Amino acid sequence: MRGTLGRYIADRRLPAKVVAVCDPVVARRERSRELYPEAARYADHHQLLAAGPDGVILTTPDDTHEELAVAFLEAGVAVFVDKPLAITTAGCDRVLDAARRTGTRLYVGHNMRHMPVIRTMRDLVVEGVIGEVKAVWCRHFVGHGGDFYFKDWHADRRRTTGLLLQKGAHDIDVIHWLAGGYTVRTQAMGGLTVYGDITARGGQGERTLTDWFAPETNWPPSSLTGLNDVVDVEDLSMMTMRLDNGVFATYQQCHYTPDYWRNYTVIGTHGRLENFGDTEGAVVKVWNSRRSGYRTDADLVVEVPSDDGGHGGADPRLVAEFVDFVRAGGPTLTSPVAARQAVAAGCAATASLRADGVPVDVPALSRELVDHFAGADDAETRES
């Protein structure tokens, strides 16, 4: 699915070219000819390394991110790692350290920082329309969760740690960005409440999501078939967070809702804001003028702009930023440090969830790594 990101290089006439595609599955390699007809095709990443690319976009399964990123970084190839950076905190730190040791450029594909709805909320927070942020709440209705995450490797915690990390890494990063801090302590609860009862297993073999995704017919969630043989990740999870700047946050994720979208509420000392919808047609409402009971007439309603391309135009902007970063370096809207902190919070929350809600502290990032990346890719520093 994410392997299509490279098409934006040609579509947007960026100063780069897709020269190679690598995939161990023959059918997927051959299918790539539709998008990248002039590219060379390789079955193994060592062959790709030998071809000497300037940069690589890793959209491989999560459990391969760490090893592949380190291999390319140590070879001096600029790396785009799709989120999550790795499936463990230690894995993230190993990737960051490889970038530090080699001086090779590292970029993480947290495309939600480029989504118009997130940028709209972030801009309102920075402008101070709700005062100083004190709380952030996120409800994530993952309406396609059964098709997206329970029919292949995503359902196996050995390959993801869990969906609170795998899927939640996006939202945890956004919560951190809106709040201006990182989680230091977390607590979570949840479980495998629906998909664990489905016995129609067997997986999908070498098929990909585009082959089996059928939102019109795959309802209700209990009717799904062809689930992965191993299903041991939670389909319902709830985590609370205390951030290093005193902000408190919550994140809730459900993989069997009928609707698919994210709802954020940000509460400050002088008001609150909330998004209604997260793609085309979405609005962000702000209440900041007076006390009242329930009212729909917000004090400020901001229409969220939309653009062509995946995730409201976020994907092409993400690729364009990576190309610029490979060519010239400099600050980026996404951040390897922030990506690590999202994974660290997700790992700690998953440990808490599986220990029946015991609070867990998030391991601090070493000062050596903080200093190395400081200012180079810190969006908070860049925009404040």
How do residues 215-246 score in pLDDT, each as one tens digit? 888 899 999 999 999 999 999 999 999 999 99
Establish if 367 belongs to a structural domain: no
d(C-alpha 278, C-alpha 142), whole Å: 13
Give the CATH number for residue 20. Answer: 3.40.50.720
Q: Is the pLDDT of residue 379 over 60?
A: no
Cα distances (angstroms) measured from residue 120 to each of 90, 123, 304: 33, 5, 7
- Indicate the number of domains in the chain: 2
Same-domain check for residues 23 and 47: yes
- Strand-pair partners of 272: 267, 287
> Does any domain span residue 339?
no
Q: What is the CA radius of gyration of the chain?
A: 21
Judge if 194 and 276 occupy the same domain: yes
In a domain, 345, yes or no: no
- Residue 173, domain member (yes or no): yes
Q: Is residue 347 part of a domain?
A: no
Both tokens of residue 59?
Answer: 């959209």
What are the pLDDT digits (tens) for 153-198? Answer: 999 999 999 999 999 999 999 999 999 999 999 999 999 999 999 9
What 8-state DSSP symbol labels residue 217? Answer: T
Q: Are 212 and 151 in contact (CB under 8 A)?
A: yes
Q: Is the pLDDT of residue 50 over 70?
A: yes
Q: What is the CATH number of the domain that holds 157?
A: 3.30.360.10
What is the pLDDT, as a whole number, of residue 210? Answer: 85
CA atoms within 13 A on the CB side of 236: 9
Give residue 376's pLDDT band: very low, low, confident or very high (50, 70, 90). Answer: low
pLDDT tens per residue, range 311-338: 889 999 999 999 999 999 989 999 999 9
DSSP calls for 193-215: -SGGG---B---TT--HHHH--T
Which residue range is the domain that position 275 belongs to? 114-310
pTM: 0.96
Average pLDDT over residues 248-254: 98
Contact 93, 341 (CB under 8 A): no
**Res. 378 pLDDT band, cuts 50 70 90:** very low
126 found inside a domain: yes
Q: Is 26 among the domain residues?
A: yes
- Examine the domain organization and report whether 79 and 129 are in the same domain: no
At residue 263, the 3 state secondary structure works out as strand
Residue 319: HSE in the Cβ half-sphere, 13 Å Cα cutoff: 27
Q: Residue 18 above 70 pLDDT?
A: yes
Residue 150 counted as domain residue: yes
Angle at 108 between CA 133 and CA 267, to 5 degrees: 10
The predicted structure's pLDDT at residue 375: 63
The rounded percent of the chain whose pLDDT value lies above 90 is 89
Q: Which of 141, 116, 142, 120 is nearest to 129 (CA)?
A: 120
Predicted pLDDT of residue 1? 80
3-state SS, residue 366: coil
For 114-156, what is each residue's pLDDT tens digit? Answer: 999 999 999 999 999 999 999 999 999 999 999 999 999 999 9
What percent of the chain is helix, strand and coil (3-state, nearest 5)?
40, 20, 40
